[in-house]
A and B are shown apart, each in its own frame.
Chain A
Amino acid sequence: MDLYAEEIVSHYEHPHNKGKPRDANTNYHEYNPLCGDDITIYLKIEGGIVKSASFDGTGCAISVGSASMLTDLLKGKKVGDVEKMGPKDIIGMLGIDPGPTRLKCATLSLKATQKAIFVYEKKDASSVSKDL
């Protein structure tokens, strides 16, 4: 099955940007009761740019794989652009639509990322897109 393409599985087995960094200036923890996925995203934001991104936690291959891929993708992005990302961008990143149930696993790290940004900007974290 394509969902478990080589790339996602390899990100799951050898995740990039895993661990709690010392220089992050914001973070957010998200939990998905469906799978028990538990992901914290750490960001270092400077001058409106994501300077570094990493994550910690455990979960299914879809949530961990996407967290690994997303943290790769975030580096150097404008905060405003990250705030605008949605499920479509995650599907684009994975290269496959995991279907309605598993999409929640795939978007968990983006949800945490956007909430981490909102916390950093002292905005209301609950205003993150309901689609995620």
Chain B
Amino acid sequence: MAAIDVEKVKNDFPIFDIKVGGKPLVYLDSAATSQKPRKVINAISKYYKRYNANIHRGVYKIAEQATEEYIKSKKKVAKLVNADSGENLVYTRNTTESINMVSYTWAEQNVGSGDHILVTDMEHHSNIVPWQMLAKRKGAILDYISLNNEHSELDEESIETQLAKNPKLLAITHCSNVLGTIVDVKSITRKAHQTGAKVLVDGAQSVPHMPVDIADIGCDFLAFSGHKMLGPTGIGVLYAKHDILEESQPFLGGGDMIKTVERQDFTPNDVPWKFEAGTPNIEGGIALGVAVDYLRKIGMGSIREHEKMLTRYALEKLSGIDKVNLFGLPVERIESRGGVVPFAINGIHPHDVATIFDSEGIAIRAGHHCAMPLVVEILKEPALSRISFYLYNNERDVDAAVAAINKAKSIFKIQ
């Protein structure tokens, strides 16, 4: 596995040419959204400049080209996550829409009154609220797998107890966007399948950052977002097993999702087009394919190793600073930790921390990270600051963060 040449990678990303208040941009918020390489940006304008046409319907050259590029992109994504074919991938707007699509199709048909739906205490709002809405529609019960005493990973006993309730669905994150904890989704999927549950994996923080193999995990659904993996906003992916896609009712109705329409009825289109009603985000789909090319060229294994190295470095540096609290698994458990480093400085509000970072040209996130049950109810913090990494970060970025923490401490006179 080749080490990543960060300087070379940075040159591929035009945003690193900018200055923030006279300082070079240090971007440590890739868990929120990633930056985009020039190739991806160019793919979008190339579509508009050279072959802008609607897909699936034109018989002319540029329409055929657009259709072909769009379908090619799905093949690339399928290869990235080892889905058997692009036909099992539905393009959506983002992870959130992918999860909602499952809740309004398969789950709408298969979850009924008194049924259990199982999530975990580490979920993003997008893997909580759709299930709360479903539970309300159906009179179903929403259960949570709780965290261990250290609030760093799922509690093994709770996994067993909750699965014993025979949930219809387990909806679980692969990697927590707050703690960075990587869940062993393969083993938990196997356990859930034994109880008859279907399994939805939220791959928003895993697919962009590490090798993800759907066939190996064995999950029924996988949701992720293009914008967190070098692609543009407005394009997301839902993988589902072929028979589930075949058996599920469509979500939105309209053009492209049908084969034929009569005055009183319609015949749905083949999978996956049955789930893509109306003109899709064509340039987004195409550009996502280009993003995947870029990622595969670097190698997902290399990206994971690079982020592990940075996370270890950051945990070691930050744990040496007085009054800094770290959350999540300890550095010895780096194998189960993604490139996410949440922290709090005693006596300084995380938003003040983020604003002081900004004054140094460093972008970090502060807030509840769309995971209020975890941050507010469990960790009992009003908010957290979070550093997150990607392939364009290096140790110098961590050093800059450390300097900014020290600056914050000195402004607030904290020793």
A60 to B349, CA, bound (A): 5
Q: Which residues of A contact B367 (CB under 8 A)?
A: 34-36
**B355/A36 in contact, CB under 8 A:** no
Which chain A residues border B382 with CB–CB below 8 Å? Answer: 35-38, 58-59
Residue of A nearest to B375 (CB): A36
0/1 string, B327-349, CB within 8 A of A gives 1: 00000000000000000000011
The distance from the CB of A49 to the nearest CB of chain B, in whole angstroms, is: 33
| B-facing residues in A55-98 (Cβ within 8 Å) | 58-62, 98
Task: Give chain B residues whose Cβ lies under 8 Å from the Cβ of A61.
Answer: 348-349, 352, 412
Instruction: Give Cα A13 to B352, complex, Å.
Output: 13
A9 within 8 A of B: yes
**Is the Cβ of B383 less than 8 Å from the Cβ of A1?**
no
Verify B355–A35 contact, CB threshold 8 A. no
B376: chain A residues at CB < 8 Å are 36
Q: A1-B356, A4-B356, A58-B382 are in contact. Are A35 and B351 (CB under 8 A)?
A: yes
B412: nearest chain-A partner, CB-CB: A9
B359 within 8 A of A: yes
Q: Which residue of A lies closest to B349 (CB)?
A: A60
Interface 0/1 of A4-34, CB less than 8 Å to B:
1000010011000000000000000000011
Contacts of A3 in B (CB 8 A): 355, 359
* Given A36-B376, A58-B382, A4 and B368 contact (CB-CB distance below 8 Å): no
Complex CA gap A59/B383 in Å reads: 10
Q: Does B411 contact A (CB under 8 A)?
A: yes
Question: How would residues 351 to 377 of chain B score, 1 for a CB under 8 Å from any chain A CB and 0 otherwise?
Answer: 110011001000000111000000010
Contact of B352 among A34, A38, A62 (CB under 8 A): A62
Q: Say yes or no: A34 contacts B351, CB within 8 Å.
A: yes
Report Cα–Cα, A59/B412, bound state, in Å.
14
| Cα of A9 to Cα of B356 in the assembled complex, Å | 13
Indicate the size class of the contact surface on chain A: 20 to 34
Min CB–CB distance B347 → chain A (angstroms): 9
A105 within 8 A of B: yes
B interface secondary structure, majority: mixed
B interface size (C-beta, 8 A):
17
Interface set, chain B 34-79, CB cutoff 8 A to A = none
**Given the complex, which residues of B lie within 8 Å of A35, measured CB to CB?**
349-351, 366-367, 382-383
A75 to chain B, nearest CB (A): 26
Give A58's nearest chain B residue, CB to CB: B382
A98 — which chain B residues lie within 8 A by C-beta? Answer: 355
Q: CA A35 – CA B310 in complex, angstroms?
A: 28
Q: Which residues of B contact A38 (CB under 8 A)?
A: 382
Contact assessment for B351 and A60 in the assembled complex, using a CB-CB cutoff below 8 Å: yes
User: Is A102 positioned at the interface, with any CB of B under 8 Å from its CB?
Assistant: yes
Q: Is the CB of A105 within 8 A of B351?
A: yes
CB-CB under 8 A from B359, the residues of chain A are 1, 3
Task: Check B412 against A102 for contact (C-beta < 8 Å).
Answer: no
Cα A62 to Cα B349 with chains together (Å): 10
Tell me if B411 and A4 are in contact (CB < 8 A). yes
Which one of B349, B376, B411, B412 has the greatest number of beta carbons of chain A within 10 Å?
A: B349
- Which residues on the B side are within 8 Å of A4 (C-beta)? 352, 355-356, 411-412
Q: How far is the CA of A3 from the CA of B411 in the complex (A)?
A: 11
Contact B411 A9 (CB under 8 A): yes
Instruction: Using A4-B356, A34-B367, A36-B382 as known contacts, say yes or no to A102 and B351 having CB atoms under 8 A apart.
Output: yes
* Most chain B CB atoms below 10 A, which of A61, A98, A102: A61
CA distance A9 to B412 in the complex (A): 7
Minimum CB–CB distance for A114 against chain B, Å: 23
Q: Which 8 A-B pairs have the closest CB atoms?
A: A36-B382, A60-B349, A1-B359, A35-B351, A60-B351, A61-B352, A4-B411, A36-B383
Q: Which B positions have Cβ atoms within 8 angstroms of A?
A: 348-352, 355-356, 359, 366-368, 376, 382-383, 411-413
Which residues of A pack against B, CB within 8 Å? 1, 3-4, 9, 12-13, 33-38, 58-62, 98, 102, 105
- Extra pairs beyond A13-B412, A60-B352, A98-B355 (13, CB < 8 Å): A1-B411, A3-B355, A9-B412, A13-B413, A33-B368, A35-B351, A35-B366, A36-B376, A36-B383, A37-B382, A58-B382, A60-B350, A61-B412
A-B contacts, 5 of them at CB < 8 A, read A13-B412, A36-B367, A61-B349, A61-B412, A98-B355
